[in-house]
Amino acid sequence: MADAENTAAERNGRTAPASQSAPGGIDDARLDVRDAGYCVYCDRIVERADDGTCAEGHPLEAVTGHILLVDDDPLPSLPVFNWAAFLIPFVWGPLHGQWVGIVFLPIWLFVDSIISSARSGGAVSLVGAVVAVAGTLAFEWFFAKRANGLAFRRVMKTQTAEEFRRRQRTWAIAAVPVAALLFAWAVWFHVGVAPTLAARS
Ligand SMILES: [Zn+2]
């Protein structure tokens, strides 16, 4: 135990002053170690109460992982929004254990066909296409809002919140050109290829 505490102190760039091990004995010398975990209800890293539950009152089952904090270390935080999960959910999701991300692929193909038919349809089908796009983007927004917590929960034994944040930043940077290419391809297909095919038939 003493070793663990010393390591934690060294990690934080401090050494326990000699006075701490003076009169009060071992208890006074102990650093104040707090335990934190990810709470699925709070959707953030929270401090655990003495019984391991979320300090906000959520049950034990809601909290995953143990992040030990020493003295007044601040609670680590996760990014609030995951741009890669928003832009390319069907790629990002499966690679982060969130298979539901795959459903965005058939949804977008479906929305794409609604947009196609709206081009030749009237005002009603145009409104339908706008609603379909807005609804899909809202669904993706929700997915991307929850993505970080659920992904971090799976890897928190091996990654710190800071490492996770860095990896997800790389993901976001990579997702932008991929999403742009997909979008450009879809536009080109409709503007370039689809009318040509329609003209031939
Ligand atoms: Zn909570």
Domain regions of the chain by residue span = 2-70, 83-200
Distance CA 161, CA 94 (A): 20
Tens of pLDDT along the chain (201 residues) come to 444 444 444 444 444 444 444 444 555 556 789 999 999 999 999 999 999 999 999 999 999 999 999 988 999 999 999 999 999 999 999 999 999 999 999 999 999 889 888 878 788 888 999 999 999 999 999 999 999 999 999 999 999 999 999 999 999 999 999 999 999 998 888 777 766 776 776
- The residue type of 126 is L
Spacing, Cα 113 to ligand 1 middle (Å)? 42
Alpha-helical regions (H) of 21-160: 26-29, 83-87, 89-95, 104-120, 123-155
pTM of the prediction?
0.77
Do residues 86 and 160 make contact, with C-beta atoms less than 8 angstroms apart? no
Spacing, Cα 43 to ligand 1 middle (Å)? 7
